[in-house]
Chains A and B, each alone.
Chain A
Amino acid sequence: MSGKSFPFRLATLEKRKPTPAERFLSTTMLLLENLVKVPLFRCQRCGECILSHTAFICSQRCPKRLRNGPCGGTGEGGTCEVFPERKCIWFLIHRRARLLGRISLLNRVENIHNWNLEKTSAWLNVFTKRIEPPVIFVRKKDRYESEREN
């Protein structure tokens, strides 16, 4: 699916049935990925990982599961609107992105989530080109730029 007028692409699942080998591979990959990402990043297993854009803090911990930045309810000092005892996850992301020089990545308009990918291995999804690969390095000149005009 490639709606040309949209600034994003939708990932799709293949129509055919997976072979036993593929099923084994995806289950193992999912297990490995969960072992790493759940304790490290409190991964919510959305299958469409954007950790690299959000300064390696899982944005899906947001009660509204926002993928494009904070809602208007962030309180003074960065408290979450829904659970005031928590910090707004996007407040933390912004703080760390500034620290790591990854602010420019927050400028991206993220794809609409494909709920078919929920609870699948994002690593495998990158490998099978269902989702975009992570951005590991940010070019030095882009690091602290908060807005880039094309």
Chain B
Amino acid sequence: MSLREKIKAGRFVVTAELGPPQSCNGDVIRKKAVHFRNGVDGVNITDNQTGIVRLSSIASAKILLEEGLEPIIQVTCRDRNRIAIQSDLLGGCALGIENVLCLTGDHQRFGNHPESKGVFDLDSIQLIATVRGMVEGSFLSGEKMKKAPDFFVGGASNPFADPLEFRVLRLAKKIRAGAQFIQTQPVFDLGRFGEWMDGVRKLGLHNRVAILAGVMPVKSAKALRYMKEEVPGVRIDGEYIRRMEESEEPRDEGVKIAVEVIQELKRIEGIKGIHIMPVMWESITPRVVEESGLLDK
């Protein structure tokens, strides 16, 4: 059963994120893939996350397909114009990739090539519309293609960035452009997430798109504090930082917090799944999945 079919059948799905290496070593991906064998329905592959050059997401996706996992490729608008994006998507489809997550992309200023030219020919909403157009059989130019790719198209949403009202509005725009699933940024502030979901439910958006809430297990209080202070658009409940600081086994506490957040999220009406983002800590995924009871959905 593919991710699309599982979501359609109303099953509670779990996706996780895998960061490709900064080298041409495909074995790194094969090794990391082991952690996603059980209980994970789809594996996101980041597209040069934060502007740092990494193994391409489509190539990594092919490796995951060979390993018998279902990849979700992330496509950003930072590095490619409309010609390259459409071309890559055709290539991805030919390799058997079914899921696409459309993102605007981090600004190149944060990466390891800050002097490069940011493309941003399209934005994430226009990219979603473009991919949906391709699924319906036409290029952005309006020309028809002989065989249309069959993609399951997703977008991202950040409930924690300001202003809250615009975040709901932007989600509505993504749905109107054709998004079929949404993955959110990691939840560390359930109060704010609840507010956002209230707005989403008020407009009935949760019935038109599958929302997968993001969860991030963290290793240390330092990592949490870094996210709060340095990463824009992230909100972290001070309580979690305090707990991580006071804990003698911060790694266990990080897992405990992730599991608690998952339990809370499962109870919220309109959440169709969980998206686990273990940045640089892929090996923890099986434990989080197991302890939060996501194995026997």
Q: Taking beta carbons and an 8 Å cutoff, which residues of A are in contact with B?
A: 1-8, 10, 63-79, 81-82, 84, 88, 90-91, 94-95, 98, 103, 106-107, 109-110, 112-113, 115, 146-147, 149
Contact = CB atoms under 8 A, between A and B. Distances in A.
B161 interface: yes
B162 A77 contact: yes
Task: Name A's interface SS.
Answer: loop
A112 B140 contact: yes
A6 B162 contact: no
A109 B177 contact: yes
Given A94-B163, A147-B169, A72 B125 contact: no
Given A4-B138, A147-B172, A78 B118 contact: no
Contacts of A10: 140-142
Interface in B94-151: 104, 106-107, 109, 118, 120-126, 129-130, 132-133, 136-142
A6 B161 contact: no
Most buried by B among A72, A75, A88, A147: A72
A7 B129 CA distance: 7
A3 B139 CA distance: 8
B107 A82 contact: yes
A19 B235 CA distance: 57
A10 B185 CA distance: 32
B237 to A, nearest CB: 14
Contacts of B177: 7, 109
